[in-house]
């Protein structure tokens, strides 16, 4: 099987297959989204700091909205115009980060 170019758009079946392993994420149009509720504002910022480290490693960055203890993540590959393997890989890494913080709610 040929290796995927990280900028190739995933088709609908590939997106749905990836979401099977990412139950907290949902597809909205050409994006993947996830909401997280932390214990408080400092906890939300700690999560965001750890997310930033993972995003830098991939050189792929989420759109993030922070509202006190709530984080809203949106992933899409703007250069490709939709969801790519970079987005699903970043979502997997963000799940690890989020899971490493205690008292986080979906």
* Within a domain: 3: no
* Within a domain: 4: no
Q: Over the stretch 23-39, which tens digit does the pLDDT of each residue have?
A: 999 999 999 999 999 99
* Within a domain: 5: no
* Within a domain: 39: yes
* Within a domain: 104: no
Q: Over the stretch 54-97, which tens digit does the pLDDT of each residue have?
A: 999 999 999 999 999 999 999 999 989 999 999 999 999 999 99
Pair 32, 82: CB distance under 8 Å: no
**Given this model, what pLDDT does residue 103 score?**
56
* Within a domain: 2: no
Could you give the CA distance from residue 20 to residue 42 in angstroms, rounded to a whole number?
31
* Within a domain: 37: yes
Band of residue 4 on the pLDDT scale cut at 50, 70, 90: low
Residue 48 has pLDDT above 70, yes or no: yes
| Structural domains in the chain (count) | 1
49: domain CATH number is: 3.30.1360.20
pTM of this prediction exceeds 0.85: yes
Q: Which domain holds residue 78?
A: 12-99
* Within a domain: 50: yes
Mean pLDDT value across residues 39-45: 95
């Amino acid at each position: 099987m040929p290796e995927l170019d990280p900028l190739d758009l995933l088709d609908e079946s590939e997106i749905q297959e990836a979401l099977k392993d990412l139950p907290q994420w949902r597809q909205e149009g050409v994006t993947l989204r996830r909401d997280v509720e932390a214990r408080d504002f400092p906890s939300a910022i700690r999560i965001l700091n750890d997310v930033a480290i993972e995003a830098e490693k991939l050189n792929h960055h989420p759109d993030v909205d922070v509202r006190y203890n709530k984080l809203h993540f949106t992933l899409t590959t703007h250069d490709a115009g939709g969801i790519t393997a970079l987005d699903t890989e970043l979502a997997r890494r963000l799940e690890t980060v989020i899971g490493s913080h205690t008292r986080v709610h979906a």
